[in-house]
C-alpha cells in the first residue's frame, strides 16, 4: 500500500462537523503502538474580545495538494503508519473543532513529533483563511506560523539574492535598473523587493 493510500485528507464544507472518532478509527492499525492527535477548537475570547465564531475559507484543490505534500514530508522524517487531517470551512462556533490531525506510529515519539509538524505546517502554509467574529466586529487573521514562515523565506531569499547580486553583478550592464543595497535589512532588485 502506498503512503498516499495511508493518508485521509478532508476539507469539510460548511455545515459539516469534524468527526474525531472517524479519523482516530482511520489511523488505528495493529502495527501502531501510538496515536497522536491535535484538535483545534474555537475559544470564546481573544485579547479581551468576546469571540462569537471563526469563519474559514479555502482554495480547496490547492489546500489538498499542500496537505498531501506536508504528509509526504512527515513520512520522510518519521516512521508513521497512517495520517488523517481534517479542516472545516464556514462558520465554526465557540467550543467546536475546526481542525483535527491524527497520526499513528510504532512509538509515541514519532507520532507526537509528526503531529506537531503537521499542524504547524498546516498553519504556516496551507491556503485556508480565518476570520474571527467578535461581539463588536470581525477581522481576518494571519496565523503566527504563517508570519514566521514568511519571515524565514524572506530572510533566506534576501540572503541568497545578496550573495548572488553582490558577488557577481556589482558592475552591471543594466546601470540604474539594478540597485544593490548591501545592508543587513534590505535588498532591492529593479524595484522587486518583497517584504
114 touches 36 (CB < 8 A): yes
101 touches 25 (CB < 8 A): no
Q: Is 5 annotated as a binding residue?
A: no
Distances (CA, A) of 61 to 9, 58, 75, 135: 11, 9, 21, 33
The sign of the torsion formed by the CA atoms of 119, 120, 121, 124 equals positive
Q: Is 148 annotated as a binding residue?
A: no
Reported as half-sphere exposure (CB side, CA atoms, 13 A), residue 152 has a value of 8
**Measured between alpha carbons, how far is 56 from 42 in angstroms, rounded to an integer?**
11
Q: Is 131 annotated as a binding residue?
A: yes
Q: Is 107 annotated as a binding residue?
A: yes
Give the SS3 label for residue 161: helix
Annotated binding site: 107-108, 123, 130-132
Annotated binding site for substrate: 107-108, 123, 130-132
Amino acid at each position: 500500500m502506498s503512503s498516499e493510500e495511508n493518508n485521509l485528507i478532508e476539507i469539510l464544507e460548511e455545515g459539516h462537523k469534524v468527526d474525531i472518532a472517524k479519523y482516530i478509527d482511520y489511523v488505528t492499525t495493529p502495527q501502531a503502538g501510538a496515536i497522536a492527535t491535535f484538535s483545534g477548537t474555537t475559544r470564546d475570547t481573544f485579547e479581551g474580545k468576546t469571540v462569537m465564531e471563526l469563519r474559514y475559507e479555502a482554495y480547496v484543490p490547492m489546500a489538498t495538494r499542500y496537505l498531501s505534500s506536508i504528509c509526504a514530508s512527515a513520512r520522510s522524517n518519521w516512521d508513521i503508519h497512517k495520517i488523517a487531517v481534517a479542516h472545516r470551512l464556514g462558520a465554526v462556533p465557540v467550543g467546536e473543532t475546526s481542525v483535527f490531525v491524527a497520526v499513528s506510529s510504532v512509538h509515541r515519539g514519532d507520532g507526537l513529533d509528526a503531529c506537531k509538524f503537521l499542524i504547524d505546517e498546516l498553519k504556516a502554509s496551507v491556503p485556508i483563511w480565518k476570520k474571527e467574529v467578535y461581539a463588536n466586529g470581525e477581522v481576518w487573521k494571519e496565523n503566527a506560523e504563517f508570519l514566521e514562515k514568511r519571515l524565514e523565506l524572506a530572510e533566506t531569499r534576501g540572503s541568497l539574492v545578496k550573495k548572488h547580486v553582490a558577488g557577481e553583478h556589482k558592475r552591471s550592464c543594466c546601470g540604474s535598473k539594478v540597485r544593490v543595497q548591501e545592508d543587513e535589512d534590505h535588498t532591492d532588485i529593479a524595484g522587486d523587493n518583497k517584504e
